[in-house]
Amino acid sequence: MQLHLREYGSGPPMTILHGFLGAGGNWHTLSRSVFGEHFRVLVPDLRNHGQSPHDSRMDYEAMAEDILAMWDEHGVEQGLLMGHSMGGKLAMQVALTAPERVSKLVVVDIAPRTYPPGHLVILEALRRADPASRGGRDEVDAVLAETIPDLGVRQFLLKNLRRTEAGFDWLPNLDVLESSYDQLIGGLHVFATYEGPTLVVRGERSDYVQDDDMDVLRAYCPQAELVTIADAGHWVHAEQPEAFSDAVMGFVLE
């Protein structure tokens, strides 16, 4: 599968993997203004997300194969790898599958365990919004607001809205994301370790990475160290971009 890819900057390769219902464009500002100053940054849309192809298979093994194939195509023998949320689980999957190809690993606000199904309300809201029957972004937003009061979350979701010849539609493959959802929120099942340098970044107000999760993380990544970003939730890189980028750059450049 050939993933839609954005590239920034030059230097040693760095790959960034977005989260569930996200896209590579979520990382545009930091990739261009911070990471791209030091690295050749590759930011793909994962399968069934953004402008990448849709496929009936949606699991971490398949997505890891996509990333390794992308690296082969673009001449990346080894590089830095960072992922947020679902992308963080995928980054761990890649590092555990092909540890020799990951020089350093950054996992953003996720652990390799099973999570409760917190996105079901969002998926239902996206279905109910039915953008093909609406007159535009404002009408879609009004429907989403009925069940998603947080403006920031709605703005994030509305980045997935695309204009078609018939009107509007969602970019993500909602059918496959719904049918594969249990796999995506499930824990990793890889009997391997990644021995390279690993940074885990969590938001102070997020409950995605608990102190106890570090035992599981270190079972997979023995060198994992934890940094907590003050006054940040799950979207730590968007809520506190300066503190987040300082933490990451301090790790990847050391």
Instruction: Give the up-direction half-sphere exposure of residue 26: CA atoms within 13 A in the CB hemisphere.
Output: 32
Rounded Cα–Cα distance for residues 97 and 109 (Å): 21
Q: Which of 18, 84, 234, 237 is catalytic?
A: 234
Q: Which of 31, 85, 180, 206 is catalytic?
A: 85
Does residue 245 carry a catalytic annotation?
A: no
Residue 129: which residues within 8 A CB-CB, separation 6 or more? 140, 143, 144
Does residue 182 carry a catalytic annotation?
A: no
Rounded Cα–Cα distance for residues 84 and 130 (Å): 28
Question: Do 92 and 194 form a contact (C-beta atoms < 8 A)?
Answer: yes
Residue type, 86: M
Q: Which of 150, 169, 175, 182 is catalytic?
A: 175
Rounded Cα–Cα distance for residues 6 and 127 (Å): 28
Q: What is the per-residue DSSP string for 78-102? A: SEEEEEETHHHHHHHHHHHH-GGGE
Does residue 175 carry a catalytic annotation?
A: yes
* Parallel/antiparallel/unpaired status of strands 198-203 and 102-108: parallel
Task: Report the catalytic residues.
Answer: 85, 175, 234
